Amino acid sequence: MKMISGYTANGDRLQQLKAFDESKSGVKGIVDKGITKIPPIFVRPPEFSGGDKPSSGHRIRTQFSVPVVDLADTVGRRADVVAGVRRAAETVGFFQVVNHGIPKRVLDEMLAAASGFHELQREVKSEYYSRELLRKVKFGSNFDLYQSRFANWRDSLLCVMGPEPLDPQELPLICRDITMEYSENVHKMGVTLFELLSEALGLKPDHLIELDCAKGHLIISHYYPPCPEPELTMGTSKHSDPDFLTILLQDQIGGLQVLSENQWIDVPPVPGALVVNIGDLLQLVSNDRFKSVEHQVLANHAGPRVSIACFFTLHLHPSTRLYGPIKELLSEDCPPVYKETSLKDFIAYYDEKGLDGNSALTHFKCQR
C-alpha cells in the first residue's frame, strides 16, 4: 500500500480525516489542544513542495508592485479608471482598490466579528458545522477535505447572501448585523467594478450586470490559526476562484500570494484597501481577455490571520442560463476559447476536483 507522510494512503488517512471532520471544531480545535506538530493530514506531499517551483509556497521577492485602482472619482476620471482596471485585469488578474467608499469602521467591525465567530466555544460553533451543499450559512474546514491530497490550515464560515436575501436570523448573532451591512456595501462596490470591467472590454457599462454577474454573492470568513510548522502545510493551496469576481478584505498579518509570470508575489495588506481578483467565470465570458489569477495563502507562525472573501456568483442558485464567451468579443480572428456551461456544472466540476493546483477552466475549453 502506498505510504504518504508516514501513514497509509487509504485506511489511516481516511480515519484521521473523519475524526477531524466529526470533531466539528476545525483547525482551531487542534491548535487549542496545544500541539507542537501538525497532524499528518495537513502535511504537503513532496510533489507539492519541491525546490523553487511556483507551487512550493516559498516567498519570492521581486520588484513587482501590486496594481492600485483609485475609485475616488469614477465620473470625472472615468477613462483613466477604466484603463487602469483593463490593464490589471488583462495582465495580472488582480488589483488593490482604494477610496472605494466602504467606511473603515465597517471593514474593522467585519474583521473583528469574523474573528469573534471563529473564537466562540466549540459547542456554539458546531451548531453551524455542515457539509450540506445547499445550506446557506455553514461553518467548516476544507470544503474539499476528502478530495484533496492534504488539508489546509484554515477554517471558514460561508454565508450565501444572494440572490435570495438571507434572513439575518440565520447568521450567528456575533456577526449578524455587521455581515448584513458589509454585504450591502461590498455588493454596491461590486456593481461599480462590473460596470468598469464591462467598459474595459469595450462593452456597454451594464453588459456584465445583464449577464447576472452581480446578481448573487456569498461571503466567506476565513480564519487561519497560528501554525507550529508552517513550512509543512498551506493556509490555502494554489487555486483560482470559481466565480466572476472576488473582493477580499484582509487583516494585517499577510500571507496572500498571487502567481505572476511564474513567480509568487506577496500581496501586502494595505490598511483600508480591498484586493480584487478576476474569477474563472469572468475569464471564460471574456474569452481569455481577462485573467483569473492563481493565488495561495501561506501558513504562518503568527496569527490568527482573518480574511473576508466576497464571491460574485449565483453559485448553486437554480438558473437555466448558459455561460460562454461574450458574442461581441468574438470574430474570425478571435474564435471562442471555451464551450458554454451552466454555473451548476462549473461548480460541480470545481468542487469535485478540489484545490489540486490545476485550473478548472481547462476542462471547459473548446476542442481544436
Other C-beta atoms within 10 Å of 280: how many? 22
Is the pLDDT higher at 315 or at 155? 155
- Report pTM: 0.92
Which domains, and CATH codes, for the chain? Answer: 63-364 (2.60.120.330)
Whether residue 121 is predicted with pLDDT greater than 50 in this model: the reply is yes
Q: At what angle do helices 176-200 and 78-91 cross, to 10 degrees?
A: 90
With left for phi above 0 and alpha for psi between -120 and 50, is residue 244 left, alpha or beta? alpha
> What is the predicted pLDDT for the residue at 261?
86
For the segment 135-151, what is each residue's pLDDT rounded down to a tens digit?
Answer: 999 999 999 999 999 99
> If pLDDT is split at 50, 70 and 90, which confidence band does 52 have?
very low
User: 65-108, pLDDT tens digit by residue?
Assistant: 889 999 999 899 999 999 999 999 999 999 999 999 999 999 99
Written as nine digits, the cell of 80 is: 483613466
pLDDT tens, position by position, 205-229: 999 999 999 999 999 999 999 999 9
Residue 296 cell numbers, joined: 495561495
pLDDT of 9 reads 53
- What is the rounded end-to-end Cα distance, in angstroms, of the chain? 40
Cell numbers representing residue 357 in the block: 493546483
CA distance 139 to 159: 9
